Amino acid sequence: MKGTTFNARYSAQWQNTVLPYIRKLIFNLASTTDLYFFSEMLQSPLLPGLHANITKLDLSGFHWFSGITDNRHANPYLTLASHLPLLSELAFTLHTASITASMWGEMQMVELEATDPVRAKARRVLSLRDVCAKYGLAALFKCSELKRIRIVYIKSDIVTANTPMVDPEKLIAAVRDWLTVEFAKRRQQQVLVTISKVA
């Protein structure tokens, strides 16, 4: 929002100039720090209606979210997205490391590291169900105005080299297909879901 100035005492300027400009912007949230700061902005009484005028989000730090667990019941990135009533475009990242896991249990891996360090690095690709649960992807279905989703796949050659029997990119394609079908089935909503790969 560089270069955008307004006087909070003049609501017409905010409503007629600033908010229409905000509707054109893409808000990039690269970390949970960005996420929490942005959430505070959305709740500020000095910025009335801001949350209802965000139309595009780029969740470039999405893959850093460690997952929904017993003490974490929701994905904060998607909780935020679901509270933006005009959100029409969303991008989020998935990394090869975040959609794979060690082939071994912790004790087994420690033993293998001592005897066969190459084999100890072996990874398996998570199932579609596990990835959807880990990231709470079903929360996206609360976004009633979504028209486009872009999955940014960050490929790690190091991790991929340790998953020789399976292709992590097939899982990314499965996530794309699942989102497309489920939006149509659950909400009768046509959402274009695409993948872009970052090597």
Say if 2 falls within a structural domain.
no
Helical pair 168-187 and 128-135, crossing angle rounded to 10 deg: 70
Number of domains within the chain:
1
Q: What is the mean pLDDT of the chain?
A: 90
Say if 4 falls within a structural domain.
no
Helix then strand then coil, in percent of the chain rounded to 5, is 45, 20, 35
Say if 6 falls within a structural domain.
no
pTM: 0.89
Can you give the pLDDT at residue 8? 60
Say if 142 falls within a structural domain.
yes
Can you give the pLDDT at residue 99? 94
Say if 3 falls within a structural domain.
no
Q: Which residue has the tokens 């360090």?
A: 117
Alpha helices, H only, the chain: 11-13, 19-22, 32-43, 76-82, 106-115, 117-120, 128-135, 157-161, 168-187
Print the domain residue range for 92: 11-198
Q: What is the pLDDT of residues 93-152, one digit of tens each?
A: 999 999 998 887 877 877 777 787 787 788 899 999 999 999 999 999 999 999 999 999
Can you give the pLDDT at residue 120? 76
CA 58 to chain centre: 8
Say if 174 falls within a structural domain.
yes
Say if 66 falls within a structural domain.
yes
Can you give the pLDDT at residue 91? 98
Which residues pair with residue 193 across a beta bridge? 149
Say if 127 falls within a structural domain.
yes
Q: Which residue has the tokens 């959430």?
A: 39
Q: What is the pLDDT of residues 99-111, one digit of tens each?
A: 998 887 877 877 7
